[in-house]
Chain A
Amino acid sequence: MNRRDFFRVVTASGATAAVTGCQRTAENILPLVVPNEQLVPGVAAWFATVCRECPAGCGVIAKNREGRVVKLEGNPDHPVSQGALCARGQAALQGLYHPDRFAGPLLRDGATLTPASWDAAQKVVADKIAALRSAGKGQAIALVTQLETSSLGALLDKWTQVLGTRPRVTFEPFGYEATRAANRATFGRDAIPHYAFEDAQVVLSFGADFLETWLSNVSYARAFARMHAFRDGRAGTFIHIEPRQSLTASNADAWVRNAPGTEGLLALAILRVMVDAGLADRRFAEVVTGINVKKAAADSDVPVETIRHVAEVFAHGKPGLAVGGGMAVTGTNATPTLVAINLLNLAAGNVGKTVRFGPDSGFGKVTPYAEVARLIQAMVRGEIEVLLLGSGVNPAYTLPGGLRFTDALKKVGLVVSFANQPDETTALAHVVLPDTHWLESWGDYAPREGVVGLMQPTTAPVRDSRPIGDTVLAMGRAVLGSEEGKGPLPWATLEQYLKVAWAPVVKDEWAAALRLGGVWKETAPVAVNARVAPVDAAPPTLEGDADGLTLLAYPSFRFYDGRGASRAWLQETPDTMTQAVWDPWVEIAVETAAKLGIAQGDVVRLTSPYGSIELPAYVSPTLHPRAVAVPIGHRYAPYHTPRYVTAPAGSRNPVALLGAAAESASGGPAYLGVRVRLAKTGARRPLAILQATHDQQGRELAQHVDLGAAREQALRGKPEHEEYFSMYPDQKYPGYRWGMAIDVDACVGCQACVVACQAENNVPIVGRAQAAYGRQLQWIRIERWAEGNPGHPTNLFLPMLCQHCEVAPCEPVCPVFAAYRTEEGLNGQVYNRCVGTRYCGNNCPYHVRRFNWFQYEFPAPLDVQLNPDVTVRQLGVMEKCTMCIQRIIAGKDHARDAKRAVRDGDILTACQQTCPTRAITFGNLKDAQSAMVRFAHSSRAYHVLEEIGTRPSVTYLKKVVREHA
């Protein structure tokens, strides 16, 4: 090639490159044909509705961008959630955009379910119902739904009456039957009262996991923080009695470990001490005459001094509050145990003060488990020919193994499921008529008397699904041969029924009620007459080997009864106590593990008279040695495997080990009912545990201060401590300076912030294997640090996120200036500059930087949930907490529209917004009016790893430890 040819080639190729370029194909912009005045592209519209991830019924507001819901937040106006939302509520979006959601109705064809039209699928059901009705066998039709306290429940009840079927069964695995039975016995009231935690000085909990799943965890966590968090020298006391150190137990000032099933015994012993010490009315003396405190102490493995101390603290709390619940209080002695707890409340004078009948919980409308069991027995006898199962109901997974539900279901001619995603029950159904997700539905829900939340569609249905109300109305009319607008079922849709039902309540204020999220009024407490009578709270009878270990099957705070488990966000959110993600485990006491030679990660077989399950072991130094504990609710959705995790064969559901018998007094299920035998299988399945150690090794990451010292410091101010010397000039902040304060005393470790951050900031899922490598991507994590005796530690929960250091170790090591300090005090990370050297991550002393080791996917349609204001990071990019920079920009924009500076409340980070205990505060450190400044100068304020001189923008407030508790 000569020189001329070379130039010709170079010029030609250069020109070609310039002309053709490397362009993407043209992109279209499609304007609306007819504009929707409510929706401005690029501006979020918010819709109020009610969270239905569990029966607590928290109010939520859904953020709709361009027609799609991208984020959920607590409704600040709703009296239950008061603006907060738990981890399960935050993850509801992953149910809405679930990749496995049914695309439409399905009909069984042999072993598989095949797509069908709505008309065809509904006709199958309607024809069968019509045939049974004309044969006079209406009682062979049964409808089972989750708890529906308002219009939908009323409509379904009307439907069952009109068609002459069996009465509707409201099935909730955790139905609190024993609480109702105990209240019937003591107060003559079949109800679950409202517990005013916020007004109590002392809370004494017998196994009630009110920070996790018990009744209404968000509302009680909010109230608990008000009662317990250190404010102006005041702080309440919380004592928790449970054989296992649960998340709730580890938030107690004193956790008392008792032998399983001895809660009632302890309650009576405490009452006895109160009576003996003259701290309770004499009329309670006759109740406790038979109680020997020494014997109770021996039976319950709780020292006599502890019982005396608890009694004293409880009796001196004016008012106090004793609550009982949780799975340890569901044995054959559940009702007497809860009666004993009622007596404690009576003796301390709490009834009417902190125990308020009147604003009763909606849980009171649950059908007792014993009736559900009777329905299953009828199925076995072949008396049920059509079984309709509403969405949220998964009896094949949640009913005790002893009931043999799967076998019973085979005797039913037509099983109809309204579930909108596959589960253990739809696998056995003959017809699937997918219900809309609650974010797509009309409805209403009353979590307690006086509070009715309204539900409205916040987005168009993601899949071809129809509301259960509409489907049953259409089928009902087909059976009756009536037309729309006529007959006993005239309503075309549930929406129409709802509006008719609400018309007299809201009159012309329908739109206002929808905007607010419902209608609520104060319900005054009603007086109750108590019956004081002796009660026998003997330990429960357990089935299984006498030398076996008592099985504690408890609901996971991430998955509830398994409903939440199909959300990958929750699977990858660690269980705070074990810090394990994805796989379930069996918690085995150190003593037992040593005896049986079991190491952490060994697969162990648990055998009860009703079945066996295999789970990897988690060796716990805190569990009572006569117990083993297994969380309920760990199951995988089809799209999780093998994408994120490999699922071993066989059941891992502890409910399968339980017997069918109900507690006789209440008809509730006995989650504490069997002893199990453990055996090593020889296999290993190490758990993916995100935190290697719970020992701070003297680093004082999570700090605490005694209550007395905290009081003194609050009064006199913090002792001056030497500022670290710097040779560099101070950084100047011309405008705002953002900072965050995290109250370690208020944090209960509920993980709501972790999921909220994941939803807000497009954080992908990495899967079990990668998480085990430490490659998880969450921008915030809750560290658990245990102090003191390993068998009985004090736990501190430390939310750890980017500290936005003023002297940030990550910045000078970045070769491309991707990490830099902004003028507003943030530590910025520019993704488009980052080349992925990971020097910054290596140099970060807080270990909060996250690296994209792979190109992570968002399986369709989960990608629709992505926040349009946040970049989706790609392979090879470092990322971390931005303090929700997109919210900061939006807040500044909002303030500028109002021609003023940003003030408190304009900007709420996602973690702060959702926090049930208000542990997180974000604000402008230069605004003297800001709450943030008050916290930064608090006597409890400290910085994590202050001694290395990073000058973080995140201030922590020390936990206050009650030495007297």
Chain B
Amino acid sequence: MGAKAGVGALGLVLLAILVFLAVSSWSRQPAGAKPSIQPIRFPHSVHVQTYKIDCQYCHSDARRSEYAGLPSVQRCMGCHRIAGAALPEVKKVADYYARGEPIPWVRVNKLPEFTYFPHKAHIRASVTCQTCHGPVETMMTFGAETGPRLTNDLLTLVGLRPAPPPLTMGWCLDCHRRQNATAGAHAPLDCVTCHH
């Protein structure tokens, strides 16, 4: 009886943990982080690792604006007029350009609308893109499994693969505090810096 009750209690505890994780990761889920199919299968890994293109070559507004920005279709075509012009996915880019239409990329990283995150200040402070966005340079598809999803939480729990950073407020503040304590930085901790 004693053993059976112990197993039952253990089962109950495990279930409670599972339910808690499920609910907590669901509740912390940033809106829009659902894995979605991008209109073009864009491989970051090929651009960054194979061709050594700097992040800011395409996301060129990051250093001067609150938004990192996406490259204009014209900028894509700057290379792809020649490079890889025959590839089917690149042809899609050329089609958008020929039609004069923007590529309807699906948003991956989104903070709540009451949060103001300026890329510019972080670039100025020499924060790497990977600090927040994870190892994008290794990804074939970006936008799949970011953020506090159940699978990510479970995988992190068992130490199988590092989840991309969750982009939650606690995570932001941890980094700001760490920087202030160790690197002598002046990362702001005031609520109204981001919430106004």
A-side residues, CB < 8 A to B, are 7, 10-11, 14-15, 17-19, 21-24, 26-35, 40-43, 735, 820, 822-824, 826, 828-833, 869-871, 882, 885-886, 889, 893, 896-897
| 10 intermolecular pairs with C-beta atoms under 8 Å apart | A7-B15, A26-B106, A27-B106, A28-B107, A31-B69, A31-B102, A31-B103, A41-B67, A830-B195, A889-B196
Kindly report which residue of chain B lies nearest to residue A877, judged by CB atoms. Answer: B114
A residues within 8 A CB of B196? 869-871, 882, 885-886, 889
The reply on B45 being an interface residue by CB < 8 A is no
B61 adjacent to A893 (CB under 8 Å): no
B residues within 8 A CB of A896? 121, 124
- Chain B residues with a Cβ closer than 8 Å to the other chain, count: 55
B residues within 8 A CB of A893? 118, 120-121
The reply on B34 being an interface residue by CB < 8 A is yes
A residues within 8 A CB of B105? 28-31
The reply on B9 being an interface residue by CB < 8 A is no
Given known contacts A24-B31, A820-B191, A832-B195, is B110 in contact with A35 (CB within 8 Å)? Answer: no
Q: Chain A nearest CB: distance from B37 CB in Å?
A: 9
A21 adjacent to B66 (CB under 8 Å): no
As a 0/1 sequence over residues 93 to 105 of chain B, the CB contacts with chain A under 8 angstroms (1 = contact) are 0001100111111
Given known contacts A17-B23, A31-B102, is B65 in contact with A40 (CB within 8 Å)? Answer: yes
The reply on B32 being an interface residue by CB < 8 A is yes
Q: Which of A7, A33, A34, A822 is most buried by chain B, counting CB atoms within 10 A of its CB?
A: A33
The docked-state distance in angstroms from the alpha carbon of A832 to that of B114 is 7
The docked-state distance in angstroms from the alpha carbon of A897 to that of B189 is 20
Given known contacts A23-B34, A29-B70, is B191 in contact with A14 (CB within 8 Å)? Answer: no
The docked-state distance in angstroms from the alpha carbon of A40 to that of B150 is 37
B190 adjacent to A822 (CB under 8 Å): yes
The docked-state distance in angstroms from the alpha carbon of A505 to that of B193 is 47
B residues within 8 A CB of A35? 72, 74-75
The docked-state distance in angstroms from the alpha carbon of A534 to that of B25 is 90
Q: Chain A nearest CB: distance from B78 CB in Å?
A: 11
Q: Which of B26, B193, B195 contacts A831 (CB under 8 A)?
A: B195
Given known contacts A11-B18, A43-B65, is B74 in contact with A17 (CB within 8 Å)? Answer: no
Kindly report which residue of chain B lies nearest to residue A897, judged by CB atoms. Answer: B124
- The 8 A-B residue pairs whose C-beta atoms are closest, nearest first, are A42-B65, A30-B102, A18-B22, A31-B70, A42-B66, A828-B192, A18-B150, A35-B72
As a 0/1 sequence over residues 6 to 31 of chain B, the CB contacts with chain A under 8 angstroms (1 = contact) are 00000100010011001101100101
Q: Chain A nearest CB: distance from B103 CB in Å?
A: 7
The reply on B42 being an interface residue by CB < 8 A is no
Kindly report which residue of chain B lies nearest to residue A42, judged by CB atoms. Answer: B65
A residues within 8 A CB of B61? 40-43
Q: Which of A19, A23, A31, A43 is most buried by chain B, counting CB atoms within 10 A of its CB?
A: A31
B residues within 8 A CB of A11? 15, 18-19
A residues within 8 A CB of B114? 831-832, 871
The reply on B159 being an interface residue by CB < 8 A is no
B residues within 8 A CB of A824? 190
Q: Chain A nearest CB: distance from B69 CB in Å?
A: 6
Kindly report which residue of chain B lies nearest to residue A15, judged by CB atoms. Answer: B22
8 new A-B contacts at CB < 8 Å, known A18-B25, A832-B114:
A14-B19, A14-B22, A26-B106, A30-B105, A33-B72, A33-B73, A41-B65, A889-B193
A residues within 8 A CB of B112? 832
A residues within 8 A CB of B31? 23-24
B103 adjacent to A14 (CB under 8 Å): no
Contact residues, B52-94 vs A (CB, 8 A)? 61, 64-67, 69-75
Kindly report which residue of chain A lies nearest to residue B20, judged by CB atoms. Answer: A14
Given known contacts A21-B29, A35-B72, A832-B112, is B190 in contact with A30 (CB within 8 Å)? Answer: no
A830 adjacent to B25 (CB under 8 Å): no
B residues within 8 A CB of A42? 61, 65-67, 69
A residues within 8 A CB of B186? 735
Q: Chain A nearest CB: distance from B147 CB in Å?
A: 11
A869 adjacent to B116 (CB under 8 Å): yes
B15 adjacent to A10 (CB under 8 Å): yes
Kindly report which residue of chain B lies nearest to residue A32, judged by CB atoms. Answer: B72
Kindly report which residue of chain B lies nearest to residue A41, judged by CB atoms. Answer: B67
Kindly report which residue of chain B lies nearest to residue A43, judged by CB atoms. Answer: B65
Q: Chain B nearest CB: distance from A840 CB in Å?
A: 15
The docked-state distance in angstroms from the alpha carbon of A43 to that of B11 is 55
Kindly report which residue of chain B lies nearest to residue A873, judged by CB atoms. Answer: B114
Kindly report which residue of chain A lies nearest to residue B8, judged by CB atoms. Answer: A3
Kindly report which residue of chain A lies nearest to residue B32, judged by CB atoms. Answer: A27
B64 adjacent to A43 (CB under 8 Å): yes
B residues within 8 A CB of A882? 192, 196
B residues within 8 A CB of A897? 124
B residues within 8 A CB of A17? 22-23, 26
Q: Chain B nearest CB: distance from A16 CB in Å?
A: 9
The reply on B36 being an interface residue by CB < 8 A is yes
The docked-state distance in angstroms from the alpha carbon of A487 to that of B167 is 65
Q: Chain A nearest CB: distance from B105 CB in Å?
A: 5
Q: Chain A nearest CB: distance from B114 CB in Å?
A: 5
The docked-state distance in angstroms from the alpha carbon of A889 to that of B16 is 44
Q: Chain A nearest CB: distance from B20 CB in Å?
A: 9
Given known contacts A11-B15, A23-B32, A893-B120, is B104 in contact with A30 (CB within 8 Å)? Answer: yes
Q: Chain A nearest CB: distance from B65 CB in Å?
A: 3
A33 adjacent to B102 (CB under 8 Å): yes
The docked-state distance in angstroms from the alpha carbon of A91 to that of B193 is 28
Kindly report which residue of chain A lies nearest to residue B113, judged by CB atoms. Answer: A871
A26 adjacent to B32 (CB under 8 Å): yes
B195 adjacent to A22 (CB under 8 Å): no
B residues within 8 A CB of A7? 11, 15
Q: Which of B66, B100, B110, B190 contacts A33 (CB under 8 A)?
A: B100
Kindly report which residue of chain B lies nearest to residue A27, judged by CB atoms. Answer: B107
A residues within 8 A CB of B26? 17-18, 21-22
Kindly report which residue of chain B lies nearest to residue A824, judged by CB atoms. Answer: B190
Q: Which of A28, A33, A830, A869 contacts B97 (CB under 8 A)?
A: A33
Q: Chain B nearest CB: distance from A900 CB in Å?
A: 14
B residues within 8 A CB of A871? 113-114, 195-196
A residues within 8 A CB of B32? 23-24, 26-27
Given known contacts A15-B22, A41-B65, is B74 in contact with A33 (CB within 8 Å)? Answer: yes
B64 adjacent to A830 (CB under 8 Å): no
As a 0/1 sequence over residues 122 to 160 of chain B, the CB contacts with chain A under 8 angstroms (1 = contact) are 001000000000000000000000000110000000000
A residues within 8 A CB of B96? 33
A885 adjacent to B107 (CB under 8 Å): no
B residues within 8 A CB of A823? 189-190
Q: Chain A nearest CB: distance from B93 CB in Å?
A: 11
Kindly report which residue of chain A lies nearest to residue B25, judged by CB atoms. Answer: A18
B residues within 8 A CB of A21? 26, 29, 34
Given known contacts A27-B106, A871-B113, is B64 in contact with A826 (CB within 8 Å)? Answer: no
The docked-state distance in angstroms from the alpha carbon of A882 to that of B116 is 15
Q: Chain A nearest CB: distance from B56 CB in Å?
A: 13
B64 adjacent to A40 (CB under 8 Å): yes
The docked-state distance in angstroms from the alpha carbon of A17 to that of B23 is 8
Q: Which of A28, A32, A826, A885 contacts B106 (CB under 8 A)?
A: A28
Kindly report which residue of chain A lies nearest to residue B107, judged by CB atoms. Answer: A27
A residues within 8 A CB of B11? 7
Q: Chain A nearest CB: distance from B151 CB in Å?
A: 9
The docked-state distance in angstroms from the alpha carbon of A102 to that of B166 is 47
The docked-state distance in angstroms from the alpha carbon of A26 to that of B66 is 22
The docked-state distance in angstroms from the alpha carbon of A308 to that of B105 is 79
Kindly report which residue of chain B lies nearest to residue A896, judged by CB atoms. Answer: B124
Kindly report which residue of chain B lies nearest to residue A893, judged by CB atoms. Answer: B121
Kindly report which residue of chain B lies nearest to residue A885, judged by CB atoms. Answer: B196
The docked-state distance in angstroms from the alpha carbon of A43 to that of B62 is 11
Q: Which of A18, A828, A832 is most buried by chain B, counting CB atoms within 10 A of its CB?
A: A18
Q: Which of B74, B114, B196 is most buried by chain A, counting CB atoms within 10 A of its CB?
A: B196
A residues within 8 A CB of B101? 33
Q: Chain B nearest CB: distance from A675 CB in Å?
A: 55
The docked-state distance in angstroms from the alpha carbon of A41 to that of B65 is 7
B residues within 8 A CB of A869? 116, 196
